[in-house]
Amino acid sequence: MTLSEVREIEGEFSLTFYCGELPADAAIAAAGHEPNGYFWEGVAEFIGGDLVKQMELDSEGGMFCAVGEQADLTAMQSLLEPLLTNGNAVLDVIARAEAASFIFDD
């Protein structure tokens, strides 16, 4: 079961998922972050490298949203989807980001 979705609406592709009730939320909150769309934008920026530069991030508190080319969004989905259900994997990303002085804007 996937929690995120790449969809086309009026010729524009987006990757979205709702935040606030994800399996990884408890781990995110325990690490001192808000499990919202802005946090997940930070995760996408940190792990996405050049890929994230190919899309526009347009999240809200309750939803992550990225807009771009279908192939890029599908690639980003493959990076993010495993983290949505795995608190330990998200904690690893948070630890690596903090070690790199990355600041989440959540």
Task: Note whether 44 and 57 are within 8 A (CB).
Answer: yes
Q: Supply the pLDDT for residue 2.
A: 86
In-domain check, residue 81: yes
Q: Which two tokens stand for residue 99?
A: 């070690």
Q: Is the pLDDT of residue 1 over 70?
A: no
Tell me the average pLDDT across 30-41. Answer: 95
CATH of residue 77's domain is 3.30.1360
- Residues in CB range of 67: below 8 A, 6 or more apart: 12, 13, 14, 15, 55, 56, 58, 73
Confidence band for 35, pLDDT divided at 50, 70 and 90: very high
Burial of 91 (0-12, 13-18, 19+ CB in 10 A): middle
In-domain check, residue 105: no
User: For the whole model, what pTM was predicted?
Assistant: 0.93
Question: pLDDT tens across 38-96, in order?
Answer: 999 999 999 998 999 999 999 998 999 999 999 999 999 999 999 999 999 999 999 99
Domain of residue 64 covers 5-99
